[in-house]
Amino acid sequence: MKVQVIAITAAALAAAACGSDPVYNDQPRYGSGAYYSRTAENADFGRVVAIDVIGGRRTTGAGAVVGGIVGGVLGHQVGSGRGNDAATVAGAVGGAVVGNEIEKRRNDGERYRITVRFRDGRDSAFEQDSLNGIQVGDRVRVDGGLVVRD
């Protein structure tokens, strides 16, 4: 019985570790519909007026939930009676804390908010994981929501 629980727990942890990053819809996008293509006609040109470093430690709570479940299951295997209940609660709390921290570290990384002043005078901010050599004052092109050097 305990071997099966440990095997199921290991499989659940492995499946949770393979999860993809959540999609955030906070990035500006240009164009609409399935017919939008990333060509030069659809790109905007401008200059970078500011670059801000923003944190990337977003958590969805999935790490805490999975960690809590796994910790609770493992804690339940310890002791009997009230000791078993206490071990289950302690395992669930500890697993939730550890699972949340694992998710934070997995999502850790700096993100950049790049503010671009376009030729028509409007300013727009874009969030990216990498600067790719972009600096304040550079001429850039915004293509499909990504800022690239021109």
pTM of the model: 0.42
56-to-21, 22, 105, 133 alpha-carbon distances in Å? 12, 12, 10, 19
The architecture in CATH of the region 31-56+110-150 reads Beta Barrel (2.40)
Q: Tell me: the pLDDT tens digits for 6-63?
A: 767 766 665 565 555 544 444 454 444 444 444 444 458 899 999 998 875 566 788 7
Q: Tell me: the pLDDT tens digits for 90-128?
A: 888 888 888 888 777 776 667 889 999 998 888 999 988
Confidence band of 140 (pLDDT split at 50, 70, 90)? very high
Domains of the chain, residue spans: 1-26+57-108, 31-56+110-150
Residue carrying the six token digits 């949340």 = 100
pLDDT at 47: 93
| Radius of gyration of the chain, Cα coordinates, nearest whole angstrom | 23
Residue 6: DSSP 8-state: H
Q: At a CB cut-off of 8 Å and minimum separation 6, what does 12 contact?
A: 66, 69, 70
Are 125 and 133 within 8 A, CB to CB? no
- 27-41 burial, b at 16+ Cβ within 10 Å, e below that, comes to eeeeeeeeeeeeeee
